[in-house]
Amino acid sequence: MRKSFPAAALTVITMVVGAASATAQSPAVNAARIEAAVKSSWPQAPTDWKERLVQDETMAACSQYKNSPPRTVADAIVAREKAAIKYPADGKLMGDWKKGEKLAQSGYGRRFTDYPPRTENGGNCYACHQLAKAELSFGTLGPSLLEYGKIRKFAEADVKAVYERIYNPHAAVPCADMPRLGAGGHLSIEQIKDLVAYVMSPDSPVNK
Cα separation, 87 vs 164, in Å, equals 9
In the complex with ligand HEC, which residue's Cβ is closer, 29 or 151?
151
Shortest distance (Å) from residue 53 CB to ligand HEC: 19
String of DSSP letters for 137-187 = ----SSPP-TTHHHHTTT-HHHHHHHHHHHH-GGGTSTT-SS--TTTTTSS
Residue 157 phi/psi, 5-degree rounding, is -60, -35
Shortest distance (Å) from residue 23 CB to ligand HEC: 26
What single-letter amino acid sits at 18? G
Residue 88's nearest CA partner among 195, 200, 190 is: 190
Single out the residue of 125, 159, 183, 206 in contact with ligand HEC (rule: CB under 6 A): 125
The size of the interface with ligand HEC (CB under 6 A), counted in residues, is 23
Binding mask 157-176 for ligand HEC (x = CB under 6 A): -----x--xx--x---x--x
Q: Is 123 in the site for ligand HEC (CB under 6 A)?
A: yes
Shortest distance (Å) from residue 25 CB to ligand HEC: 28
Neighbours of 65 (CB within 10 A): 18
Footprint of ligand HEC on 60-119 (CB under 6 A): 104
What single-letter amino acid sits at 38? V
Single out the residue of 46, 117, 143, 185 in contact with ligand HEC (rule: CB under 6 A): 143
In the complex with ligand HEC, which residue's Cβ is closer, 11 or 144?
144
Are the beta carbons of 132 and 101 closer than 8 angstroms?
yes
In the complex with ligand HEC, which residue's Cβ is closer, 129 or 193?
129
Q: Which helix (H) or strand (E) holds 13?
A: helix 4-25
Single out the residue of 74, 94, 199, 206 in contact with ligand HEC (rule: CB under 6 A): 199
Q: Interface with ligand HEC by CB under 6 A: which residues?
A: 104, 123-125, 127-129, 141-143, 145, 162, 165-166, 169, 173, 176-179, 181, 195, 199
